Structure 1
Amino acid sequence: MPEREAIVGSTVILGAGQAAAQAIVSLRQEGYEGRIVLIGDEPFLPYQRPPLSKAFLAGELARDRLLLRPPEFYARAGVELMLGTPAVRIDREAKQVVLADGRRIDYQTLVLATGGRPRHLDCPGAEHPSVHYLRSIADAEALGEKLHAGARLAIIGGGYVGLEVAAVAVKKGLGVTLLEFAPRVLSRVACAEVAQFYEQVHRGAGVRILTGSGVAAIEALEGGVRVRTSDGSAIDADLVLVGIGQLPNVELAQAAGIVCDNGIVVDDEGRTSAPDIYAAGDCTSHFSAVYGYHLRLESVHNAVEQARSVAAAICGKSRPYRQVPWFWSDQYELKLQIAGVNRGYDQTVLRGDPQSRSFAVFYLQEGRLLAVDAINRTAEFVAAKPLIEGHARIAVDLLRDADVPLKGLMPLS
């Protein structure tokens, strides 16, 4: 049998997160023997971001344990590291990436893994030094240094990041007030039953939750700030965390003429509208074969699987990304596992008792299973994924019956 011909070229990866690390791993696994250059804004090797709002912020995980791969891996893989120097332009005609220090890096293939950034608060006083965001190691360390027992923390935004930080902070002995503009927490991502459950859990732990509260201004106080809400109320705090969503980093792609629409638009193999340029991870928008519309997903699973597809495509193979997305959140002793996307649901089905802190909620659209939120119910999370992928219709009474295993249920015809 003849030996496989080595795949040689020059691939530059712009961004140094989960998708970038996986792209490197997969390129070498696929037999790519060309030059690989990794360019990142931060001075760190690619690292995990989910623990930043959980174990790392709580002081339970050392910085070096955040790394996705040790330094030796990149040396063995022959990766050229250019960290701590942002890219400022993509020169498509010259096939070069221009760095902030003036260097020009040639590429044959370019992978955009630029991730996202926190959406910033837009109100008077939002730039006060006591206002924090959470996306990077530096962000987490700056916030963590101020999480002392007795301190007052105001969290703006009742999404997963805000709730996860609230759980860490209240366990550390801080007084925590969480403000959410919508009528309930998790309003964009979960149904009322799940939101109500988490509100009860957090209130029971000592978190003060104010829903329907917009932020009008942040005023400076000696040693802290005062958060003025849209209804005229005031919350005094020593520090503030803003968690109101994420924006995709698409500016370099847009400036280079690459099609973007709520993310860098890619196909199921990670190709952008520009020849020889791919993208993966939080910065992308892809057409979902499971749901039939474009999605921008902020998840480890999405970053990893898109990067695998991109690496295969660069190596002349076809491994399209067509999977059911999944996510997770850790708060207190609760493990929330989410399979699928619940956009457009018209019915929810509850399995189990929320009071037991172990239950699942299934999201249906015209009887078809779209997604599941499983709280301390891994079996339902695992079993739901193939049913979601198969557009299954399951009898509601069987979904509701906790004594009937979800695995093996036959879809309705």
Structure 2
Amino acid sequence: MSDNRTFVIAGAGLAGAKAAETLRDEGFTGRVVLLGDEPERPYERPPLSKGLLLGTAEEDSVHVHDAGWYAAHDVELRTECPATAVDRAGHHVRLSDGQELAYDKLLLATGARPRGLPLPGAGLDGVLHLRTLADARRLTQTVTGGAKLVVIGAGWIGLEVAAAARARGAEVTVVETARLPLHHVLGTTLARVFTGLHLEHGVVFHFGARTTELRGTGRVTHVVLDDGTVLAADAVLVAVGAEPNTALAAQASLRVDNGILVDAALRTDDPDIFAAGDVANIDHPLLKSRVRVEHWDNALHTGPAAARAMLDRPVSYDRLPYFFTDQYDLGMEYAGWVPPGAGTGLVVRGDLEGREFIAFWTAGGRVLAGMNVNVWDVTDPIQHLIRTGATVDPERLRDPGVPLTELVP
């Protein structure tokens, strides 16, 4: 029997594309419309600051599906045609071209956007962000051997770009308001690991510094700091975080607070509207808190989960947050979640100075999160430690001679 329903997905990133794929895999035969605001078909974002910038990945390799997949699976992919308004009562979505599209179920996968800096000169050529494939192309064209790149913000994106730019022969300076990179995420001990890594590769840091002005005539040439320091720049990357794209949800009067509020089934307060990816603030059943995650793994898995929920399958999204980074010869994976402001202890197993270790954040004897650096095939046991909530002896946790699989039953 044919299905006459129409499922609309607003947002053609990884979460939206994987939701469309899952709808078809789960046997949905109705109409699927995937709306994107970029000219590109859906692609994955991690290569933008890694393989594409390093030159180790071809641009076509970043796409979620090959060019013919959407037509072959009867998915209507509309690029450069984002949703601009939702009529919940009428079950319609208004598109940027003025058309209206009826829906039976709607998935909001509108992602996030880079935060800007309201500074003099912020609109100069050569002042870049990194969120889209077009951004990556501009950055790759600009960051060449001998170019002077100033990165504002020493978060994950800023550090990944710094590493890739150094590999391309650029001179890199990083400006950060905190006293160490990633300090609010990792704490002092582990932040120093990343500081040392980048210093060894020639990155110059300005910690505890704020940018007050970007100078140039038409194109940026200098960055001015609050202590009067003036840095020469051929390009500036603003990497100071991202904000969830909640305007569409807010226009529809859905509940919004640091993202779109959804339950464990990724359903909003409207039973026919769901959210997934960077924009979804999930009532997490395992972590007993609302959690919004801006990482690849989250988009990869919340899109399919939301699709199943749209089909009225039982869904309780309880995956632990996970992300990874590659910088020079350092590879890292992180799993778990530490509540903001939580008092935690740090237990390190392995060689911190040699950058081959596992770090655990603990509270009350329980492991809340783990980060493995140049140690592989341990993600599953780390996640098991976290998911069980078992109390773990910190000395056994610290001891590399005790297999992780033996720490809890």
* TM-aligned CA deviation for residue 345 of structure 1: 4.1
Matched pairs, number: 407
Per-residue displacement from partner, 1:323-372 (whole Å, max 9, x unpaired)? 21111111112111001012324200011112222111100112211001
* TM-aligned CA deviation for residue 300 of structure 1: 1.9
Q: In 2, distance between residues paired with 1:177 and 1:111? A: 40
Q: How does 1:181-200 map to 2 (within 5 A)?
A: 181-200=177-196
Equivalent of 1:346 in 321, 344, 347:
344
Equivalent of 2:297 in 301, 316, 326:
301
Q: In 2, distance between residues paired with 1:367 and 1:74? A: 49
- Contact kept in structure 1, 2:367 and 2:386, CA below 8 Å: yes
- Contact kept in structure 1, 2:125 and 2:219, CA below 8 Å: no
**What is aligned with 2:372?**
374
**What is aligned with 2:213?**
217
Equivalent of 2:233 in 207, 215, 237:
237
Q: In 2, distance between residues paired with 1:6 and 1:286? A: 33
**What is aligned with 1:286?**
282
What one-letter code is carried by the residue in structure 1 that aligns with 2:346?
T
**What is aligned with 1:397?**
395
**What is aligned with 2:354?**
356
Per-residue displacement from partner, 1:145-191 (whole Å, max 9, x unpaired)? 01111110000000000000000111111110001101110123212
**What is aligned with 2:131?**
135
Per-residue displacement from partner, 1:220-244 (whole Å, max 9, x unpaired)? 1686422111222111111100110
Which segment is superposed worse, 263-272 or 300-309? 300-309
Q: In 1, distance between residues paired with 2:63 and 2:194? A: 30
Q: How does 1:12-411 map to 2 (within 5 A)?
A: 12-220=8-216, 224-343=220-339, 344-410=342-408
What one-letter code is carried by the residue in structure 2 that aligns with 1:51?
P
What one-letter code is carried by the residue in structure 1 that aligns with 2:352?
P
* TM-aligned CA deviation for residue 61 of structure 1: 1.4
* TM-aligned CA deviation for residue 124 of structure 1: 1.6
Per-residue displacement from partner, 1:30-83 (whole Å, max 9, x unpaired)? 211100001100011110101100101122212211111112221221011111
Q: In 2, distance between residues paired with 1:279 and 1:224? A: 38
TM-score (norm 2): 0.96
What one-letter code is carried by the residue in structure 1 that aligns with 2:383?
K
- Contact kept in structure 2, 1:6 and 1:31, CA below 8 Å: no
Which segment is superposed worse, 370-379 or 152-161? 370-379
* TM-aligned CA deviation for residue 322 of structure 1: 0.9
Which segment is superposed worse, 75-84 or 111-120? 75-84
Q: In 1, distance between residues paired with 2:379 and 2:213? A: 41
TM-score (norm 1): 0.95
Runs of 4+ in 1 over 3 A off after TM superposition: 5-8, 221-224
What one-letter code is carried by the residue in structure 2 that aligns with 1:155?
V
Q: In 2, distance between residues paired with 1:177 and 1:289? A: 42
What one-letter code is carried by the residue in structure 1 that aligns with 2:362?
L
* Aligned CA distance change for structure 1 residues 403 and 8 (closer, same or farther; 3 Å): farther
Unmatched 5+ stretches in structure 2: none
- Contact kept in structure 2, 1:269 and 1:306, CA below 8 Å: no
Q: In 1, distance between residues paired with 2:296 and 2:219? A: 37
- Contact kept in structure 2, 1:155 and 1:243, CA below 8 Å: yes
Q: In 1, distance between residues paired with 2:184 and 2:55? A: 30
Which segment is superposed worse, 173-182 or 376-385? 376-385
Q: In 1, distance between residues paired with 2:76 and 2:8? A: 9
Secondary structure in structure 2 of the residue aligned to 1:46 = coil
* Aligned CA distance change for structure 1 residues 8 and 404 (closer, same or farther; 3 Å): farther
* TM-aligned CA deviation for residue 8 of structure 1: 4.6
